[in-house]
């Protein structure tokens, strides 16, 4: 990862506009910053959210609140809880996520 185009600065995530992404059920609300090729997001999944697609891009995910159920094609599962991360490289394992309770994540990809 090479972080480009960013001075030494802080991000007040409450001031970043949200963008809604509708899932198979529920909604994901993204607040996004981009620094060169690196995208940084604060993401909230509503209770009952289920992704409507398999995702192949690599990323690092930090669970801040709630519980996330992430499944890879072939059945591999991760269930990060607050304070936990999971990492996956580009094009290694298509995966999708869901949550029963809602979840807040910090994602770098």
Category of 8 on φ-ψ map: left (φ > 0), alpha (ψ -120 to 50) or beta: beta
pTM: 0.88
Please give the average pLDDT of every successive group of 10 residues along the chain, which has 109 residues: 79 96 97 92 97 90 94 84 90 90 96
Nearest to 91 by CA among 41, 40, 55: 55
Domains and CATH numbers, the chain: 32-108 (2.60.120.10)
pLDDT, position 103: 97
- Alpha-carbon distance 109 to 98, whole Å? 19
pLDDT, position 80: 86
The H or E element spanning position 44 is strand 38-45
């Amino acid at each position: 990862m090479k972080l480009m185009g960013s001075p030494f600065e802080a991000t007040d995530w409450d001031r970043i506009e949200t963008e809604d992404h509708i899932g198979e059920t529920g909604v994901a609300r993204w607040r996004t910053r981009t620094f060169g090729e690196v995208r940084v997001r604060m993401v909230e999944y509503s209770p009952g959210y289920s992704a409507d697609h398999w995702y192949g891009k690599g990323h690092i995910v930090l669970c801040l609140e709630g519980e996330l159920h992430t499944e890879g094609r072939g059945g591999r599962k991760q269930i990060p809880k607050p304070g936990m991360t999971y990492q996956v490289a580009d094009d290694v394992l298509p995966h999708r996520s869901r949550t029963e309770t809602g979840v807040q994540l910090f994602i770098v990809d």
